[in-house]
């Protein structure tokens, strides 16, 4: 729950690695929602300079309008607001672009979940098994960061394999936000423009070429192929 909370509301949901879709096995949904709501109720909204504040404002009025337009769209598409969805109450009323962190009970066919809304909106999507979870995870245009929480080694390995997440970052038992400095940071599909940081950073600015030089008078053939003898 702590990892979900940090990933969903850290920087008020305005990170590129923010958790936007929480894909949950059906049998665990009700208990997880209860725990999430309890955690969200303890989130202090206010001045980000204050050490007691857990969530600051959105960047501007346009971001606030985008969030509430999205909430109306969510309702029209069959989503259910189960927590938040209003303006945030702060120590200084009517000052700043403060909003409430919002939890939505969604379904995987809602068009709105295909879009990035840089705001603290968390979609909870129920699935039956790991295969469906991976399908839902990959069925969006974005592909930056993903994570799985599991005690099952096979599930973890599947998520990290070619049959798993198609994101540039795939984590196990750690959230989507907060990349390691030594890792190659970047996404797939419509996300990002190459890898930054880590050993791959310079490759984004290079054109790769394989070169072979032959100084012999004879023509060597690949894989030791010989003609004649």
DSSP character for 6?
H
Nearest to 110 by CA among 67, 66, 80: 80
Do residues 43 and 98 both lie within one domain? yes
191 pLDDT band, cuts 50/70/90, is confident
Backbone angles phi, psi at 127, to 5 degrees: -135, 165
Do residues 2 and 101 both lie within one domain? yes
Q: Convert the pLDDT of each residue in 16-55 to its tens digit.
A: 999 999 999 999 999 999 999 999 999 999 888 999 999 9
Q: What is the largest CA-CA distance in the chain?
A: 91
Do residues 111 and 199 both lie within one domain? no
Nearest to 6 by CA among 39, 34, 31: 39
Q: Residue range 151-173: average pLDDT?
A: 93
Do residues 9 and 48 both lie within one domain? yes
Question: Percentage of the chain surpassing pLDDT 70?
Answer: 86
Whether residue 56 is contained in a domain is answered as yes
Backbone angles phi, psi at 148, to 5 degrees: -130, 140
86 pLDDT band, cuts 50/70/90, is confident
194 pLDDT band, cuts 50/70/90, is confident
Backbone angles phi, psi at 210, to 5 degrees: -100, 125
Contact assessment for residue 24 and residue 125, using Cβ atoms and an 8 Å cutoff: yes
Do residues 136 and 164 both lie within one domain? yes
Do residues 92 and 172 both lie within one domain? no
Q: What per-residue confidence (pLDDT) applies to 128?
A: 97
Domain region containing 169: 129-207
198 or 94: whose pLDDT is higher?
Answer: 198
pTM of the predicted model as reported, rounded to 2 decimal places: 0.84
Do residues 6 and 111 both lie within one domain? yes
Give how many domains the chain has, as a whole number: 2
Domain boundary among 108, 127, 146: 127
24: domain CATH number is 3.40.309.10
Whether residue 219 is contained in a domain is answered as no
219 has a pLDDT exceeding 70: no
């Amino acid at each position: 729950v702590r990892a979900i909370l940090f990933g969903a509301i850290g920087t008020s949901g305005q990170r590129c690695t923010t958790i936007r879709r929480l894909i949950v096995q059906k049998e665990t949904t009700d208990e997880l929602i209860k725990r999430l709501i309890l955690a969200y109720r303890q989130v202090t909204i206010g001045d980000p300079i204050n050490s007691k504040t857990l969530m600051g404002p959105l960047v501007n009025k346009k971001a606030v309008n985008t969030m509430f337009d999205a909430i109306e769209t969510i309702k029209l598409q069959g989503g259910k607001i189960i927590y938040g969805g209003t303006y945030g109450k702060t120590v200084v009323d009517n000052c700043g672009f403060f909003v409430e962190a919002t939890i939505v009970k969604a379904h995987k066919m809602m068009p709105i979940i295909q879009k990035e809304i840089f705001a603290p909106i968390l979609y909870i999507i129920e699935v039956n098994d790991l295969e469906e979870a991976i399908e839902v995870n990959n069925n969006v245009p974005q592909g930056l960061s993903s994570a799985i929480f599991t005690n099952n080694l096979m599930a973890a390995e599947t998520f990290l394999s070619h049959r798993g997440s198609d994101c540039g970052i795939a984590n196990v038992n750690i959230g989507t936000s907060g990349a390691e400095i030594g890792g190659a940071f970047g996404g797939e599909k419509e996300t990002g423009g190459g890898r930054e940081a880590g050993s791959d950073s310079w490759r984004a600015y290079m054109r790769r070429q394989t070169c072979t030089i032959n100084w012999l008078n004879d023509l060597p053939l690949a894989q030791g192929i010989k003609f004649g003898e």
